[in-house]
Structure 1
Amino acid sequence: MPQHHDPGTADAPEGQASKSGFRPTAVAAVELGVVGQSVGVTVPGASESVQVTGISLDSRTVERGDLYVALPGAARHGADFARTALEAGAVAVLTDDAGARLLALGSDIAVPVLVVAEPRSVVGRLSRLIYRSQDADLPGPSMFGVTGTNGKTTTTYFINALLQAMGKKTGLIGTIEILAGGDPIPSLLTTPESTDVHALLALMRERGLDAASMEVSSHAVSFRRVDGVVFDVVGFTNLTQDHLDLHGTMEEYYRTKAELFTAERARAAVVTVDDEWGRRLAAQTELPVTTLATIQPGSGPEADPAGPAGADWTVTDSKPRGLGTEFTLRGRNGTELRVHTGLPGAFNVSNAALALAMVLAGGADPAEVQAALDSKDPFTVAVPGRMQLVSTRPAAVVDFAHNTDALARALAAVRSPEPASKVIVVFGATGQRDQGKRPSMGATAARLADVVIVSDDDPHDEDAAAIRAEVLVGATDAKEAEQLDCKIMEVYPRDAAIREAVNLAAPEDTILIAGRGHEVWQEVKGVNLALDDRVELRNALTARGFTVLQDDGIES
């Protein structure tokens, strides 16, 4: 059978199976008549009693008893793959008028076809119905959703680690991996399609999980991947320029994020009010809201001189402890919690504080939380590709920082107090994404690093040299205009750039490899090339005779 993929699905890198592993082992059948009724479609005659036990947008993941949803795509319509879905056991098809016409033009379809104007708009609702993923009669895990530009991944890991320290059985849906109380399931998207999300929630309920945390990107909201999900607590980290290729403006980007903070999608909110977007969101949300201030008034480039006065929780008394920070989270009601994170950077203080505030907003007892913080140190959990330490002399760090704000925070976090030490950064910009941030990323690197090595990120179908040129313009213009004392280099491919960074490093220096984090594939002109920054960095350090950490969790 020829290879194909359906519209709206992610291409799986070579070596990864695309068959869904998210489903519960048992699903009580729903009659097709009930499915049709929920979307305003009358199912005629005997077809009403057809038993539906699953739902899929991708013909490759269809299992016996599924409703196959045939969506329109940029190049092909999902109806073109209906035959494959039926051969796999689909018992009905849901599509739009165009899909119905395509099905009518082909050979006879021996299963019922339900037609709605906008099928994607009902997929989340149907997935929730079919999997009974959040059914009042079937209690499932408490759900924590985290959104914002930076910090989503780390915050979800922190929530999970804290809940586990409190003896809870947890799950996670995120960029790096998906966990359902057992072995990790590789994640291809920041948030999977709504069909998979609801199947996962049913699987988590089946496995007896107490709670789960989920990254919710703006893409997930825009593409309706979290439709039908109701979170117990949603959290907001920050908003800085990113994804404007999708949203166009910061205002539209904000509005997309704000859609998560509605009664239809959540029961309570925790909002970090360090930036103007957070303060606006806290004021506008209809949800019961807890506010969190993690930047002391007047400190940091993003701080409002007036400060976020009157926040429900405030970070105070921050001081270094090893590579990380210890601080106090002080409540307006007088509650105080002593907190430590072993991950470097002020932004990880913000991430830890948000995770803590969200767990408290979910009903946790502060005394129980403090006992878990003291006994388990949950906010020192290693997060793959997020400020991940590969060696200590030189300090060598891999981070996902892929926009201007995240790069600035990462560079500030890794600056060593050791005299005469240098910061060497390797980074690039992603192709076919928000082009406006490329010069500003270059300028930020020039201001905050001593050696700037511009290389490739994921060029996708764009010319890699042209992307590098845009980043280099920002770096060189900033160096000249501001008389910066930094060295700027262009080195590619990326593995060569990483080796060059290590070759330039002395033991007292810091190397930051930014932009790709945990990713193990680099897409160039439609081809997925094996490339893991952590592996390349470790190999280059070893080749130079430097000692690397043995418990870094990196797989060669």
Structure 2
Amino acid sequence: MSELTAPDASAPSGHDATPGFRPAAVAAVPLAAIGESIGVVVPGASSAVPVTGISLNSRAVRPGDLYVALPGATRHGADFVADAVDAGAVAVLTDDAGARLLALSNDIPVPVLLAAEPRNVVGRLSALIYRSRPDGAGAPALFGVTGTNGKTTTTYFINALLRALGKRTGLIGTIEILAGGEPIPSLLTTPESTDVHALLALMRERGLDAASMEVSSHAISFHRVDAVVFDVAGFTNLTQDHLDLHGTMEEYFQTKAQLFTPERARAAVVTVDDDWGRRLAAAAGIPVTTLATSTAPTGGTASGPADTGWTADWTVVRTTPRGLGSDFILRHRDGAELRVHTGLPGSFNVANAALATVMVLAGGHEPADVQAALDAGDPFTVAVPGRMQLVSTAPAAVVDFAHNPDALERALEAVRSPEPGSKVIIVFGATGQRDQSKRPAMGAIAARLADTVIVSDDDPHDEDAAAIRQDVLAGALAAKDSEGLDCTVLEVFPRDAAILKAVELAGAGDTILVAGRGHEVWQEVKGVNLALDDRVELRNALTARGFTVLEDHRIES
């Protein structure tokens, strides 16, 4: 899913408009306490105004809410104060620009609080209003996972292992949000801080034991996890992505590193397969458990601890294939071992399963109990929608979210069949209005690792789709020519036609990888959302050719 690069308080369909995010009962907080939290004195009778919720979106306001009017991409949230008040807002928080807009309008019948940077205090106020992470017993144990790749799968694995341990769990992530009931579709990798704290309070209200959450760099940059303290924070890896936001890999790293501080987490598990992870483990200001999932850690572009003599607390050893997945041993530096299996393909899913296991151990669970849960429940064979999701086996047809160079390379390596003569056919593109430098790199990777490369459209957004395809094609063709690669490179669009072409070219022994969009069911083109689910298109194309497809209730019809 594509992240928003800036908050837009004026957007009429904001994320916290989704129903079901809030606890049923919230004890009122007097406006004076809210003012005190941000250094504002609330005079007179206004100080006693009871506040029972908080919203960034006027269309999501409920009676008793504090409406936070932020500057947006096109309009200021102050333009919607009247709507918020009509919906039941009892107070408004805004900045100087918002106050000037309100001064030009009719009198506002509710108190208005001012802050220089309202977004910077929204998380703190949300935690105060919802009492989302109270000291003492009652709050679910909270696991946060960050890194470039693997966040979604790792959170699903954590939850699956915790459920195998008999725990009731919640989830906040890219694909869906779970609070012990029906799934709530997720629109961002991490929701706004108002929703995060409301969800955590809802999970506490429902008596959940634990929850896992994806924590993107956008979430940290845009204050979506402010005032959230994780019991265990986990780090997967760091590879090129989101440089349209961060500018450099160093800035990207520094943003991720903010999660591993006492203000945001109590303990950490850090994968140290590259220099970024080793550097993070050395610099974190909280207790760190280190994990090596590669027997030969690779370097990177970060400056950090030298490889010489580096020994992780836990190490993946003796990985052996079993079906599409892998068996492996997770060995502690003291010699203790855990036997682990994942039914999902690829070495990266071994890494995800190992990280999930060590994070659960870091959360206080005994190794013997974890081993019993691993043996009895096989939790790491859980289906993760759009993450190495198998649609058919002959040909092997896989849909994956791989949308950056590292993820694409790993996915292609994972799906290559050892059978002689088996071909790999890939359909992919690149997202518009995002880091353009990764487009030719992804094209080159596809040319090196696939037999047939079909370049199509991902989510163009407002960028010219043909220009995006040309950037990807240029990388693929350059690699093919300069490296003498024996692959076929095609340009086919729209995307459903590209998927159909891939199936037309495939034999029963081949592999089709449709990469980049994963679980997404809408394609954004020039501001219009077009219905498009790679899994549905792939299933329909396979069925039309007479191939047998796997049934999966998570694939939308």
Alignment TM-score, normalising by the size of structure 2: 0.96
Query: CA distance change for structure 1 residues 506 and 73 in 2, over 3 Å: closer, same or farther?
Result: same
2:69 aligned partner, one-letter code: A
Match of 1:112 in 2: 111
How far, CA to CA, are the matches of 1:499 and 1:103 in structure 2? 54
How far, CA to CA, are the matches of 1:105 and 1:430 in structure 2? 41
Q: Is the 8 A contact 1:456 1:493 kept in 2?
A: yes
SS in 2 for 1:139: coil
Residues 497-528 of structure 1, C-alpha deviation per residue, up to 9 Å, x if partnerless?
Answer: 00000000000000000000000000000000
Matches within 5 A, 1:350-389: 350-389=351-390
Q: Is the 8 A contact 2:274 2:298 kept in 1?
A: no
Query: CA distance change for structure 1 residues 183 and 394 in 2, over 3 Å: closer, same or farther?
Result: same
How far, CA to CA, are the matches of 1:275 and 1:88 in structure 2? 51
Structure 1 residue 334: Cα displacement: 2.0
How far, CA to CA, are the matches of 1:370 and 1:115 in structure 2? 53
Match of 2:517 in 1: 516
Q: Is the 8 A contact 2:67 2:84 kept in 1?
A: yes
SS in 2 for 1:462: coil
How far, CA to CA, are the matches of 1:302 and 1:551 in structure 2? 41
Matches within 5 A, 1:203-222: 203-222=202-221
* 1:194 pairs with 2:190: no
* 1:553 pairs with 2:554: yes
How far, CA to CA, are the matches of 2:12 and 2:514 in structure 1? 26
Match of 1:484 in 2: 485
SS in 2 for 1:227: coil
Stretch of structure 1 that moved more, 517-526 or 302-311: 302-311
How far, CA to CA, are the matches of 2:472 and 2:306 in structure 1? 31
Query: CA distance change for structure 1 residues 519 and 12 in 2, over 3 Å: closer, same or farther?
Result: farther
Residues 130-187 of structure 1, C-alpha deviation per residue, up to 9 Å, x if partnerless?
Answer: 0000111562100000000000000000000000000000000000000001110111
Query: CA distance change for structure 1 residues 300 and 100 in 2, over 3 Å: closer, same or farther?
Result: closer
Query: CA distance change for structure 1 residues 249 and 299 in 2, over 3 Å: closer, same or farther?
Result: closer
2:451 aligned partner, one-letter code: D
Residues 67-86 of structure 1, C-alpha deviation per residue, up to 9 Å, x if partnerless?
Answer: 00001122111000000000
SS in 1 for 2:331: strand
How far, CA to CA, are the matches of 1:207 and 1:74 in structure 2? 36
Quick one: percent identity of the two aligned structures? 76
Q: Is the 8 A contact 1:401 1:407 kept in 2?
A: yes
Q: Is the 8 A contact 2:275 2:298 kept in 1?
A: no
Q: Is the 8 A contact 1:146 1:236 kept in 2?
A: yes
1:490 aligned partner, one-letter code: E
2:288 aligned partner, one-letter code: V
2:185 aligned partner, one-letter code: P
* 1:92 pairs with 2:102: no
Q: Is the 8 A contact 1:273 1:308 kept in 2?
A: no
SS in 2 for 1:229: coil
Q: Structure 1: which 5+ residue stretches go unaligned? A: 1-5
How far, CA to CA, are the matches of 2:68 and 2:499 in structure 1? 44
Residues 98-151 of structure 1, C-alpha deviation per residue, up to 9 Å, x if partnerless?
Answer: 111111110110100000111001000000000000111562100000000000
SS in 2 for 1:277: helix
Structure 1 residue 302: Cα displacement: 11
Match of 1:526 in 2: 527
How far, CA to CA, are the matches of 2:217 and 2:489 in structure 1? 33
SS in 1 for 2:432: coil
Match of 1:504 in 2: 505
Query: CA distance change for structure 1 residues 12 and 396 in 2, over 3 Å: closer, same or farther?
Result: farther
Match of 1:315 in 2: 316
Structure 1 residue 424: Cα displacement: 0.2
Match of 1:267 in 2: 266
Stretch of structure 1 that moved more, 70-79 or 35-44: 70-79
Query: CA distance change for structure 1 residues 95 and 414 in 2, over 3 Å: closer, same or farther?
Result: same
2:82 aligned partner, one-letter code: R
Residues 476-512 of structure 1, C-alpha deviation per residue, up to 9 Å, x if partnerless?
Answer: 0000000000000000000000000000000000000
Match of 2:349 in 1: 348
SS in 2 for 1:424: strand
Match of 1:463 in 2: 464
Query: CA distance change for structure 1 residues 301 and 318 in 2, over 3 Å: closer, same or farther?
Result: farther
Query: CA distance change for structure 1 residues 210 and 330 in 2, over 3 Å: closer, same or farther?
Result: same
Structure 1 residue 335: Cα displacement: 1.7
How far, CA to CA, are the matches of 1:157 and 1:284 in structure 2? 28
Match of 2:62 in 1: 63
Matches within 5 A, 1:431-446: 431-446=432-447
Query: CA distance change for structure 1 residues 9 and 270 in 2, over 3 Å: closer, same or farther?
Result: farther
Matches within 5 A, 1:146-157: 146-157=145-156
1:243 aligned partner, one-letter code: H
Structure 1 residue 12: Cα displacement: 5.0
Match of 1:167 in 2: 166
2:457 aligned partner, one-letter code: D
SS in 2 for 1:457: coil
How far, CA to CA, are the matches of 2:133 and 2:550 in structure 1? 43
Structure 1 residue 411: Cα displacement: 0.1
Matches within 5 A, 1:218-233: 218-233=217-232
Q: CA RMSD in A?
A: 1.8
Match of 1:337 in 2: 338
Match of 1:21 in 2: 20
Q: Is the 8 A contact 2:9 2:69 kept in 1?
A: no
Q: Is the 8 A contact 1:10 1:188 kept in 2?
A: no
SS in 1 for 2:507: coil
Match of 2:237 in 1: 238
* 1:124 pairs with 2:120: no
Query: CA distance change for structure 1 residues 10 and 340 in 2, over 3 Å: closer, same or farther?
Result: farther
Match of 2:42 in 1: 43
Structure 1 residue 10: Cα displacement: 6.7
Match of 1:3 in 2: none
Q: Structure 2: which 5+ residue stretches go unaligned? A: 1-6
Query: CA distance change for structure 1 residues 552 and 85 in 2, over 3 Å: closer, same or farther?
Result: closer
Residues 379-431 of structure 1, C-alpha deviation per residue, up to 9 Å, x if partnerless?
Answer: 00000000000000000000000000000000000000111000000000000
Query: CA distance change for structure 1 residues 136 and 300 in 2, over 3 Å: closer, same or farther?
Result: closer
* 1:258 pairs with 2:257: yes
1:180 aligned partner, one-letter code: A
Q: Is the 8 A contact 1:124 1:227 kept in 2?
A: yes
Q: Is the 8 A contact 2:10 2:71 kept in 1?
A: no
Stretch of structure 1 that moved more, 438-447 or 102-111: 102-111
SS in 2 for 1:434: coil
How far, CA to CA, are the matches of 1:296 and 1:9 in structure 2? 50
1:455 aligned partner, one-letter code: S
How far, CA to CA, are the matches of 2:232 and 2:518 in structure 1? 27
Structure 1 residue 49: Cα displacement: 0.5
How far, CA to CA, are the matches of 1:12 and 1:373 in structure 2? 42
Structure 1 residue 301: Cα displacement: 10
Structure 1 residue 550: Cα displacement: 1.9
How far, CA to CA, are the matches of 1:9 and 1:328 in structure 2? 51
